[in-house]
Each structure stands twice: as structure tokens, then as C-alpha cells.
Amino acid sequence: METEDLASVLDATWFAADLAPQARGRLAALGRLEEVADGAIVVQEGTLCESLGVVVSGRIALRLSLPGGEDRTIITVHPGDIFGWSAILPQRIATASAVAVMPTTAVMFDGAELKRALAGDADLAAAIYERLLVSVARRLTATRTQLLDLYRPGNEPW
Amino acid sequence: MPAAYFLPRAELDRLFEALAVDGRRIIGPTIADGAVVYDELDSPAGLPHGWMADTAPGSYRLRSTGGERAFDYVVALTSWKRFTHPSLVPLTRSRRDGDQIVVEPIREDAPKLAFVGVRACELAALNIQERAMRAGPAGDPDHAARRDAALIVAVECAAATSTCFCTSMASGPEVDGGADLMLSELDDGFVVRVGSEAGAGVVGPLGLRVASPDAVDRAGTQVAAVRAAIGDPVPGDGLPERLRAALDHPHWAQVAERCLACANCTLVCPTCFCTSVGVASDLDGLDATTERSWDSCFSLGFGRVAGDANFRPKVRDRYRQWLTHKFSTWWDQFGSSGCVGCGRCIAWCPVGIDVRAELVAIAPATAPAGPIPWPLSPAEGRAPAALATAAPARHVIATVRSVMPETVDSATLRLVTTDEALLGARPGQFVMVEQPAFATPPISISRIRPDGLDLTIRSAGAATAVLTGLAAGAQVALRGPLGRGWPVEAAIGRDVVIVAGGIGLAPLRPVIEAVLAERPRFGAVRLYLGARTPHDRLFVAEMGEIAGRADVEVAEIVDRAGPEWLGRVGIVTQLFDQAKWDGSRATAFVCGPERMMQATVATLKGRGVDPAAMWLTLERNMACGVGTCGHCQLGPFFVCRDGPVFSVAELGTAFAREGL
């Protein structure tokens, strides 16, 4: 897909919407649109996380494996949101598996390449890191609420 | 009729005899266990002649005056509510015979009593309690009957103690009316004024002479001296507003360090009316009686709800609840202060907490009066639900047609009834569901059918376990419909957003059905559903059908799931926090755990939904369902009576405020 087309795809996501046109173009130049088949594992927990993805359509489940081999879905990532942020962290080890639970389209960014681009472009870095922070904070808020186990029996109205 | 008569001291027994006609019993002050209490009297000899009570914070001591006066003691330990609002009142008798149940209200005849020695502050207290219990939307028949059967003989104070502050509460010390007879005690007798036909009927046969101007002057001088002695220890102007603005004052925590939460203050208070309902049953559980007993907002369990969640777990919370109710939110609810300044709570506090000093510390006269945390007085802005058809003891027996399991611990009872009030229930209303020998839980109506109601119940305790375990043919006793429902009509012509968490979908289902029944009258309809796990989702097939409609957007999410679940996982707000729809055209209906609703409200505000168009239903300990037990109070509201559905704008900062 052409960079311009990819930029418009990104513009439809909350993660990249409202970026300055130049920044969005720069980001689009680094990404590639990928189709992920239903059930495909995009990122494997505990392995090198190479790419950060922005979901365009479909759904990605982030799963942790539990002793005994059972997986637990911790959260699902929906259109507009990101997964695989470990790719731009220093250790780059995936802390969860990312599994497509339906046919999914995502814009994928090579973590090393994205990091280099951000290091060399302060304006782009400021914009992208802020959005990453929003995404992390949003997920942290969700996790806190899930920890409260609000719907457990006896903790609900009526 | 002359303005006043004179009753010589030696003839007080004649007044007692006149009061006692037709079997009327006389209740008045007498000494017992070192204190003046109100109890039955056979003659004036039982009055505390020559005794005065010296009171101070945490202190009460009788002192002999050496005189003959009978009413120098000021106020008794106990108040008259012991007779108008007894500490224990049987409410219903229920019986189970197989599937059939019978629930009958218990009506005891109110005794004919004459209250002798009612002070001005106590007269005010009786009227305040009457407004709370009689003039409310439901009314308490037992209290009304007892008040109607009581003849009031007030006695104006001739002395004050250090704990008196009726002057600040505008409740005394002068008795300006409101009693059948009004007495002022002088050394040689009593100036008697008549306040009602019943009072005239008592004194008429006595042939009393008209009081001399001198006697009337002495009575006036006497009470004026009492007023001067008390002064104005708690400036009342703006006090309700100042207290509302001080909800986060650090002094609450300081008081809590001293307060034992023993509830003495509420027990001796002449206006406190909060109660709980207990159940006494035979061992086989077939015959049971419900009894109403005094309770206190200082009790740890007073604000407790299912699952042991407690909305006022700290003493600080409970002291704040008591004080702000007495001096602030009482105005919202009943149009007056809830305190009459009798000072009992000061004298009988075992650690000597002086409410006057706490008020001055927390809400001094110089403190600013705003901002007010809740913008709307229920008395001004909203009508309580139509309770006229649902008096507290009105039970309707309904039969279970079928039981539909919903999740591992919840089920829907399909009830059949022909009761018009129940069939006229509105979305969001609830019913109290009584079973012999079990507590009576409030259950929201999950479907309103032409021939009955559906109740979707989660088994969270003994009573709900019994209900979810019922079989077809069983009976339940219902009171209701109660509460104010969802204002579905407010959403006509607008987009509709419905956010449900867990079993919170049950009270929202009638809204969904009402909207879909008239789908063209609404804009876009969005339904967001959260649940704990995939197995905890309610009405799965039904919601699936709705999701198949082209004119409704349905999204669901669960908190936790295994790999077999391919749907969304996370919190319900993630379904719409990044959505593109314009919330300014939307009316939202929200129900779920309060913390979930808090997050939902924040997210909806971020989407542009007006707080006045955001409706949610609150959970509180709704023990009576009609606003008379006090358990479910939230700021100026009784949740059962004024809600449980509120707009976010109505609640203001009372919503999700810790300890309220």
C-alpha cells in the first residue's frame, strides 16, 4: 500500500488521528498493512517482540499462559488501539501473546526501525510517545478496574 | 374563651382526673434510676416535684431544689417518640402452607394517651417526626394512629440547663401553639391555655377561673428569662448550606476519634426515626413475624448492602451522616431542621461530644456557604414515585409461573398477578419481595408483562437464595411498584446509550424493550454490556437477537475469559471511550456496580453526554422501600423513594463520594 493510502488508514484510528500531516506521513512510511488470519499468533509471549501494531479492523486478544497450559485472555485490542509495545522497549520481550480472534488487519511497525525514527525526529517522538502513554494509561485503568472484580457475586446492585 | 385560665397547684390532680376520662392513660415525667423519664402516672404525686436536672456534655445529675414545682427538670432522658414511634412495632405476620403463602399486616390499636409535660422543643420534635413519618409519600399508619390518639399537654420551660439550645433551633422555649393544653408553672399553680377543642373539653368541666394579668405576666417573664439564659449558641442562619460546603472538613476525623458510635445520641434524640426490620420465625420457618425496631445511622451495618459492601464504614462517615442530616439535608427532605435543641445528645454522650461545639468548628458562621454539592432539592425539583398505591404494608401475592436460570447463581422468576398497580409498573421500578421467615430484599423488575412481572435475581444471601430456588406454582408477597423509574420519555427524539454491568442489565431490560417497542421515535440506539465472564452474561439469546437488528448497535465485553471466548475482554467503557458518536444528542441509562458507573459517567462526559441526560440507578440499603427507615439516605435523597434512578446532574458530587 502506498504511503499516502496508509496515512489515510492511520488517520481513521484514534491512535494516529490528529497527528500533524507531516508526522502521519512519516509514520505511514514506516508501516506496512498486514492481514492476520483468524487464530494467528502475531506475538508470542516470552519471545522477542519485533513489531508494534495498530489494529485497523478485527480483534486481537492479549493472552497470558497459566501453569497447566491454559491461556487467559487479559484484554482484547480493538480497531484504533495498539499492541506489541514491547517492541520499542529496551528489552523487547513480549509480556503477552497477541492472537487474532477474528480476521484482522493491522498496520505493523518494525520496533527497531520505529525507535530509530523517533530518536531522530523529536516532534514525531513527542507525538507518538504521548499517544503511547495514553494507550498504556488506558490499559492500566482497565486492568485496575478488572482487578477490583466489580461484578463478582454479591458486589452488584439488586 | 378567655386567653388563659389558672389552675391552683393543689388542684393538679383534678386535671389528671379530667385527662383520664374514657380510659385515657397519662404519661408524664417521673424519676426512675436516677433520671427523669416519661412513664405512666396515676396521679400528680408521681411527678418529679422539687427536682432539677443539671446537665453538661456527658453528664446528667438530679439535684433537689427544695421547692414544690413539678416541671423544673427541663427535659427527661427519654423522649415522647417512645410512645409515638415505639422501639419495637410488629409489622406483618406471614405463613407458608406448601406453595401458598399468606402475609397479613398487624394492626395494633393505638392506646389513648395524654402526654403531660411536653416541652416546646419536644412539641417541635413531635411535629418534625410527624412530617417525616406521616406527611411523607407513604405514611406510617402506626405512627399516625398513635399521634391521633395522643392528647398533648405542653408545659413551658421555667428553667434551662447548660445543654439547652432550642433558641438556636427556633423551637422554644415558648410554647406558641400546637398542643391541646399549654401550661406555665408558677409557684402557686399553672397558667393554662387551651390549644384545641380536645383541650377545651378537658378543662371546661374543671370550672377554672380566668388567669390574672399578674399570673400571665409572671409566666411570660419566666420563659423570657429562660430564653435569655440559653442565648444563641449555634447561629442557625445559613447553617444547612455551610454544612454542605464542609463535607470534606478535617474536623470530621477529629470528632470520629472521640465518638464511640454507640448510638446513644440517636436513641435519646426526639426526632431520629431510623429503623430496621427483623424477622422472627418458628423453627420450621412456616410462621413468621416481621418487626420494626429502632436503628441508628451510627450502627456499622446501617449502610451495608449485599456482599458486605458498606457505604459508611468509618465512624467519620457515620458522624457526618448524622450531623449533616440533622442540620442540613433534613431541610431538603422535610422543610425544617431535624434538631430541636433539646440537648439530650450532649448530656447522654458517654464521651461528652457537644454537637454545638462541633457545628461551630465544622461550619462556623463566618464560613462560606458554597459550593453546594447537590444542586437540586428533591422537594423542589422532582416528584417521588407514585407511592399512594403502595403503602408500606400492602402486600400482593403473586404466583411463580416459571423459573428461568440465567447464570450459575441467578434466575428470572416469571410472576403472574392481576394487581393493577404492579402491572402498571414503569421501567426501573422495583418491588420488595417477602417470603415467610426471610428478609425482604428489593428486587428490580426485569420485564413488565400484561399478566405479570419478571424478576431477575442473583443469589447473594439467604433470602435471594430461597427466591432463586423457587419452583413454578410457588408464591411470593410483593410490595410495589416502588421508586422512580427510568425517564424513557426523556430520550424520545434523541440517541439512546445504554450501559449495563453484570446483573445491572436486569433493571435496564425494560428500558431496552420500551425503546425497541417504539424504535422510530428514537435516534441511534447503542447498547453496551459488561459482565464478569462469558458465563455471567444475562439474557444471552435475547441480546443476541437484538444485536442482529440493523437499527441497534450492541457491543459486549467481559472482565475475564479463557481462550474459548473470542469476544471482547476488558472493561465496559472500552466499548465506547474512543467511539466517534456525538454524545450531545444522547440520553444515557446506566446500571452496574457503583465503581463501574463512576467510570462510565466519566467516559460519557468525555463523549459529550450532558450530566442531566445521564441516568443511573444506585444501590443502597433499601430496607423499607418507601423512605421511612433511613437506611438508603444519600445526601438529600432517600434512594428508594427519590430514586433509585437519578440523573448525574441531580446527584452532583454526592455521586461516588466516599462515605456518603
For residue A80, tell me if it sits in a domain: yes
Q: Give residue limits of the domains in chain B.
A: 5-230, 239-381, 396-482, 488-654
Query: For residue B313, what pLDDT is reported?
Result: 84
**What ranges in B238-367 are assigned the alpha helix state H?**
239-244, 251-258, 264-268, 315-324, 330-334, 344-347, 355-362
Nearest CB partner across the interface for B460, out of A72, A141, A154: A154
Query: For residue B378, what pLDDT is reported?
Result: 46
Work out the number of other CB atoms within 10 angstroms of the CB of residue B48: 24
Judged by CB atoms closer than 8 Å, whether chains meet at A72 and B560 is answered as yes
Q: Which grid coordinates belong to B155?
A: 408545659
Query: For residue B123, what pLDDT is reported?
Result: 96
For residue A156, tell me if it sits in a domain: no
Query: For residue B2, what pLDDT is reported?
Result: 63
The rounded distance, in Å, linking the Cα atoms of B334 and B391 is 19
With H, G, I as helix, E, B as strand and everything else as coil, classify residue B27.
strand
Query: For residue A157, what pLDDT is reported?
Result: 43
The length of chain B is: 660
For residue A32, tell me if it sits in a domain: yes
Judged by CB atoms closer than 8 Å, whether chains meet at A76 and B309 is answered as no
Query: For residue B65, what pLDDT is reported?
Result: 92
pLDDT (tens digit per residue) in B547-589: 999 999 999 999 999 889 999 999 999 999 888 899 999 999 9
Q: Is the pLDDT of residue B390 over 50?
A: no
Backbone angles phi, psi at A82, to 5 degrees: -115, 160
The rounded distance, in Å, linking the Cα atoms of A54 and A84 is 9
For residue A158, tell me if it sits in a domain: no
The rounded distance, in Å, linking the Cα atoms of B19 and B439 is 42
**CATH code for the part of the protein at B396-482:** 2.40.30.10
Query: For residue A89, what pLDDT is reported?
Result: 92
The conformation of residue B290, written as its DSSP 8-state character, comes to E
pLDDT (tens digit per residue) in B614-635: 999 988 888 788 888 888 888 8
Q: Which grid coordinates belong to B227?
A: 430564653
For residue B339, the number of C-alpha atoms closer than 13 Å in the C-beta half-sphere is 29
pLDDT (tens digit per residue) in B284-298: 889 999 999 999 999
pLDDT (tens digit per residue) in B74-93: 889 989 999 999 999 998 99
The region of weakest confidence among A73-77, B358-362, B366-370 is B366-370
Instruction: Pick B390 or A33 by higher pLDDT.
Output: A33
Mean model confidence pLDDT for chain B:
91
Query: For residue B377, what pLDDT is reported?
Result: 47
For residue B400, the number of C-alpha atoms closer than 13 Å in the C-beta half-sphere is 25
Sequence-ordered strand ranges (E) for A13-110: 31-36, 41-43, 51-57, 60-65, 71-77, 82-83, 97-100, 104-110
Q: Which grid coordinates belong to A37?
A: 488470519
Give the model's confidence band at A113: pLDDT under 50 very low, under 70 low, under 90 confident, else very high: very high
Output the domain CATH number for residue A35.
2.60.120.10
Q: Is the pLDDT of residue B393 over 80?
A: no
Mean pLDDT across A133-155: 84
Judged by CB atoms closer than 8 Å, whether chains meet at A158 and B566 is answered as no
Name every residue whose Cβ is closer than 8 Å to that of residue B591 and which is 6 or more positions away in sequence: A157, B499, B500, B501, B504, B505, B507, B508, B597, B616, B617
The CATH T-level fold of domain B488-654 is Rossmann fold (3.40.50)
Angle at B438 between CA A153 and CA B314, to 5 degrees: 55
**What secondary structure, in 3-state letters, does B161-229 show?**
CCCCCCCCCCCCCCCCCCCCEEEEEECCEEEEEECCHHHHHHHHHHCCEECCHHHHHHHHHHHHHHHHH
Give the model's confidence band at B640: pLDDT under 50 very low, under 70 low, under 90 confident, else very high: confident
Angle at B155 between CA B154 and CA B158, to 5 degrees: 155
Instruction: Pick B21 or A106 by higher pLDDT.
Output: A106
pLDDT (tens digit per residue) in B431-457: 999 999 998 899 999 999 999 999 999
For residue B231, the number of C-alpha atoms closer than 13 Å in the C-beta half-sphere is 7
Query: For residue A149, what pLDDT is reported?
Result: 83
**What secondary structure, in 3-state letters, does B583-627 show?**
HHHEEEEEECCHHHHHHHHHHHHHCCCCHHHEEEECCCCCCCCCC
Name every residue whose Cβ is closer than 8 Å to that of residue B397 and which is 6 or more positions away in sequence: B101, B102, B103, B475, B476, B477, B478
Angle at B486 between CA A148 and CA B540, to 5 degrees: 55
pLDDT (tens digit per residue) in B301-349: 888 776 667 788 889 999 999 999 999 999 888 889 999 999 999 999 9
Instruction: Pick B103 or B138 by higher pLDDT.
Output: B103
Chain B CB within 8 Å of residue A69 CB: no
The rounded distance, in Å, linking the Cα atoms of B632 and B329 is 13
Q: Give whole-number Cα distances, B71 to B165, B170, B635, in Å.
A: 18, 21, 39
Q: Which of chain A's residues have a Cβ under 8 Å away from the Cβ of B465?
A: none
Burial class (CB in 10 A: 0-12, 13-18, 19+), B490: middle
Judged by CB atoms closer than 8 Å, whether chains meet at B593 and A80 is answered as no
For residue A157, tell me if it sits in a domain: no
Q: What percent of chain B has pLDDT over 70?
A: 94
Judged by CB atoms closer than 8 Å, whether chains meet at A151 and B530 is answered as yes
Mean pLDDT across B108-128: 95
Give the model's confidence band at A158: pLDDT under 50 very low, under 70 low, under 90 confident, else very high: very low
Q: Which residue has the cell 386535671?
A: B15
The region of weakest confidence among B189-198, B207-216, B575-584 is B575-584
Give the model's confidence band at B137: pLDDT under 50 very low, under 70 low, under 90 confident, else very high: low
Chain A CB within 8 Å of residue B304 CB: no
For residue A135, tell me if it sits in a domain: yes
Judged by CB atoms closer than 8 Å, whether chains meet at B502 and A151 is answered as yes
Domain count, chain A: 1
Give the model's confidence band at B42: pLDDT under 50 very low, under 70 low, under 90 confident, else very high: very high
Query: For residue B1, what pLDDT is reported?
Result: 63
> CA B193 from chain center: how many Å?
35
Q: Which of chain A's residues have a Cβ under 8 Å away from the Cβ of B559?
A: 146, 149-151
Name every residue whose Cβ is closer than 8 Å to that of residue B11 and which is 6 or more positions away in sequence: B189, B206
**What ranges in B363-476 are assigned the alpha helix state H?**
378-381, 420-423, 462-468
For residue A154, tell me if it sits in a domain: no
Q: Which of chain B's residues have a Cβ under 8 Å away from the Cβ of A59?
A: 566, 568
pLDDT (tens digit per residue) in B373-384: 655 444 444 444
Query: For residue A70, what pLDDT is reported?
Result: 81
Domain of residue A66, residue span: 3-112+122-148
